[in-house]
Chain A
């Protein structure tokens, strides 16, 4: 029996790993994705059940209570959250995972301190790493959550000597870690480096602006996996190491996709304080004063849309903020009733997390076959009668293609200016996240419809109904 149980647990872990692998693989294709998620959750269930059989686990009542509390909170959160709030929800979940991993690392280290056993050097090193990654994931995710939820301003927060200050903290962390490795029985130092990790997480996210959140969320996703891996090293559990590594890899892949979609390096996203508009304002404001904007009312807009042959809709963060996805779907239904061919063009970084627009439109019952990626839709704009931009800005800014001095130069954009007409629904002429003025708004064939995305789209759709 004593031999059988540990072997059984390890074999169950093997099954769980297999389920995680196939689950993630299935998550890569729309037809199998839901199944994949189910497989992964079954894997998790098996893993947890097997671990409860471990002979070290005796404290059943409290553990089950903890699991019940966590499950109830998690289930309520999962069912209550609005789809528009998904970015912050994912951010928050990331943070909790990171916190759990850090706590495991701290707890295991503490056990050694309590028993006055000298922890082996590898344990100390991995515990320090676990505390660092887990801590950064935790507080970094909380800041991302606060920014996305609007609790704090989404714009980058910069202060003098920010980089030197970060470096000093990092050095302090390294010195503290080395000290702990040499002399593990120093609780104040251990708590000190834990504190530094938490502060580093805050400092890591506050200088990053709202529009760069897709990168940050993906990166924190990756970190939450690495944190679990580190915790796995501390308690020497292969399943934690492998599952964490898988999540780490998937997060990195998404991070790379997001960075490519903005044509910026990861270091630029993380450290440039992008979106403060510093240095570029002189160039951009000078051009805009003498230009005129064509503003139209919903009635004219509806005529243009209703009598078009093909319409491409470009949703952006503005649509998410106004929760306009259902109104958009209604408008599209009206247009399709009139025989208009309607497609959606989705920029990879539109919104605040990878795939944000896709989720919102799916919620509004838009079939995903109607959503087109940037590379597929761009050649089609030449044959498009009306491009309808709803709350998007930087992703349709021609400056990214033409103006070498623009901070967003080189970013792949949706070529809406190639369409015969462009209608832009926007609250005001204010710049987008990048702080760059948008030439598109001043073009002759661009019509502006000022107002909240939801109201304007609803008006458009009632006007179209009367055509």
Chain B
């Protein structure tokens, strides 16, 4: 990675952060927990990094670390999305009733 790529990546990071603040600003308290666990599932995006470093055919430390990371991140992703859905399902049921 050159310094130039680092700088352009920093631009991406900062802009995405601002965009995140704008997108999420007003969240009713009812949704605080689902937002958190949904966002949490998205943070499991680290799985992509894990896929890339675990991609090598030969066994080495990096591949092993990558594979462990894949398992952990997938638990995060799958568990996070499913548990968020389970919560939101409860919220939704009421809506029809209310």
Residue ranges of A at the interface with B (Cβ–Cβ < 8 Å): 20-21, 23-25, 27-31, 33-34, 36-38, 40-41, 44, 47-48, 51-52, 54, 56-59, 62-63, 66-67, 69-71, 73-75, 77-79, 81, 83, 86, 89-90, 93-94, 96-97, 99-101, 103-104, 106-108, 110-111, 114, 120-123, 126, 217-218, 221, 224-225, 227-229, 231-254, 257, 346, 348, 353-356, 358-359, 362-363, 365-371, 373
> Which single member of A56, A70, A94, A243 contacts B45 (CB below 8 Å)?
A243
Per the bound structure, the CA–CA distance linking A248 and B18 in Å amounts to 10
5 extra interface residue pairs, beta carbon distance < 8 Å, beyond A29-B28, A62-B67, A104-B49: A24-B38, A74-B82, A107-B50, A224-B43, A367-B94
Q: Contact check, A229 vs B13: say whether CB atoms are below 8 A apart.
A: yes
Find chain A residues with CB under 8 A from B85 CB.
Answer: 34, 37-38
Nearest residue (CB) in B for A77 is B79
CB neighbors of A among B1-58 (8 A): 1-3, 5-6, 9, 12-14, 16-21, 23-57
Can you report 12 residue pairs joining A to B where beta carbons are below 8 Å apart? A24-B42, A57-B51, A74-B77, A75-B78, A121-B3, A122-B3, A244-B13, A244-B45, A254-B35, A355-B31, A362-B30, A367-B95
Contact A33 B88 (CB under 8 A): yes
Name the residue of chain B whose CB is nearest to the CB of A252: B21
The reply to whether A58 and B56 form a contact with Cβ atoms under 8 Å apart is yes
Q: Are A221 and B36 in contact (CB under 8 A)?
A: yes
How many residues of B sit at the interface, in one of the four size bands?
35 or more
Chain B contact residues: over half helix, strand or loop, or mixed?
Answer: helix
Shortest distance between the CB of B85 and any CB in chain A (Å): 6
CB pair B62–A107 under 8 Å, yes or no, is yes
A98 to B34, CA, bound (A): 19
Assess the B40–A90 pair: CB atoms within 8 A. Answer: yes
Min C-beta distance of B87 to chain A, whole Å: 6
Option from A28, A31, A122 in Cβ contact (under 8 Å) with B1? A122
C-alpha gap A370/B95 in the complex (Å): 11
**A249:B17 contact, CB within 8 angstroms:** yes
A232 with B55: CB separation less than 8 A: no
Q: Tell me the bound Cα distance from A234 to B92 in angstroms.
A: 40
Tell me which residues across on chain A come within 8 A of B28, comparing CB atoms. Answer: 28-30, 373
A358 contacts which chain B residues (CB < 8 A)? 29-33
Determine the chain A residues whose CB is within 8 A of the CB of B68 once the complex forms. 103
What's the nearest-Cβ distance from chain B to residue A219, in Å?
11
Looking at the assembled complex, report how far the CB atom of A41 sits from the nearest CB atom of chain B, in whole angstroms: 4
Question: Are B63's CB and A244's CB within 8 A?
Answer: no
| CB neighbours of A94 from chain B (8 A) | 40, 43
Whether the pair B32, A354 counts as a contact (CB closer than 8 A) is yes
B residues lining the A interface (CB < 8 Å)? 1-3, 5-6, 9, 12-14, 16-21, 23-57, 60-63, 65-95, 97-98
- Other-chain residue from B18, B33, B48, B79 in contact with A239 (beta carbon distance below 8 A): B48
Distance between A29 CB and nearest chain B CB, rounded to angstroms: 8
Mostly, the A contact residues are: helix
Picked from B19, B44, B52, the residue with its CB within 8 Å of the CB of A57 is: B52
Closest to B65 in A: A107
Chain A residues, CB < 8 A from B21:
249, 252-253
The CA-CA distance from A354 to B66 in the complex, in Å, is: 32
Q: Which residues of B contact A97 (CB under 8 A)?
A: 40, 43-44, 46, 72-73, 76
Q: Which residues of B contact A120 (CB under 8 A)?
A: 1-2
Contact of A100 among B20, B46, B89 (CB under 8 A): B46
Distance to closest chain A CB from B90 (angstroms)? 4
Q: Which residues of A contact B26 (CB under 8 A)?
A: 28
Tell me which of B1, B38, B67 contacts A63 (CB under 8 A).
B67
Verify A89–B75 contact, CB threshold 8 A. Answer: no
* Chain B residue nearest to A25 in the complex (CB): B23
Given A74-B78, A93-B76, A249-B21: A99 in contact with B38 (beta carbons within 8 A): no
Inter-subunit contact A235/B91 (CB<8 Å): no
* Chain B residues within an 8 Å CB radius of A240: 45-46, 48-49
- Known contacts: A57-B55, A355-B29. The answer to whether A69 contacts B34 by CB under 8 A is no
B16 partner, pick from A90, A246, A367, beta carbons under 8 A: A246
Q: How distant is the Cα of A217 from the Cα of B50 in the complex, in angstroms?
A: 24
Which residues of chain A are near B2, meaning CB under 8 Å? Answer: 120, 122
CB < 8 Å: which of A40, A71, A123, A249 contacts B24?
A249
Establish whether residues B62 and A241, one from each chain, have CB atoms under 8 Å apart when the complex forms.
no
Residue from A70, A100, A107 whose CB has the most chain B CB atoms within 10 Å: A100
Name the distance in Å between A160's Cβ and chain B's nearest Cβ: 35
Known: A57-B51, A368-B30. A250 touches B24 (CB 8 A): yes
Contact between B44 and A75, CB atoms less than 8 A apart: no
Which B residues are in CB contact (< 8 Å) with A41? 41, 81
- Within 8 Å by CB of A359, from B33, B65, B71, B81, lies B33
Whether A44 and B35, one on each chain, are in contact in the complex, defined by CB atoms closer than 8 angstroms, is no
Residues of B within 8 A of A239 (CB): 45, 48
User: Could you say which residues of chain A place their CB within 8 Å of the CB of B74?
Assistant: 66-67, 69-71, 74
CA A48 to CA B25, docked complex, whole Å: 28
